[in-house]
Amino acid sequence: MKIKSSLLIGTACIAVFACQTNKYTEQDRITSTKNLNSFVDSVEMAVKASPTHDWSVIDSRFDSLESRADKVYKDLKAESTEVDLIETRYDTVIENAKRTEENFQKTAEMHLQNVEKWWETTAKEPTAKRAITIANIESTTKESLNWLEKNFNNLKEESREKYNKFISEMGKI
Number of CB atoms found within 10 A of residue 149's CB: 10
End-to-end CA, the chain: 106
What is the rounded distance in angstroms from the CA atom of residue 100 to the CA atom of residue 149?
19
Q: Maximum CA pair distance of the chain?
A: 113
Calculate mean pLDDT across residues 68-83.
93
What is the rounded distance in angstroms from the CA atom of residue 11 to the CA atom of residue 32?
36
Query: Does 81 have pLDDT greater than 80?
Result: yes
The more confidently predicted of residues 139 and 98 is 98
Q: What does the pLDDT look like over 110-151, one tens digit per residue?
A: 999 998 888 788 777 777 676 667 666 778 888 898 899 999
Helices marked H in 54-135:
55-75, 81-123, 127-135
**Phi, psi at residue 53, to the nearest 5°?**
-150, 165
Instruction: Report the sign of the C-alpha dihedral through residues 142, 146, 149, 154, in that order.
Output: negative
Q: Is the pTM of this model over 0.85?
A: no
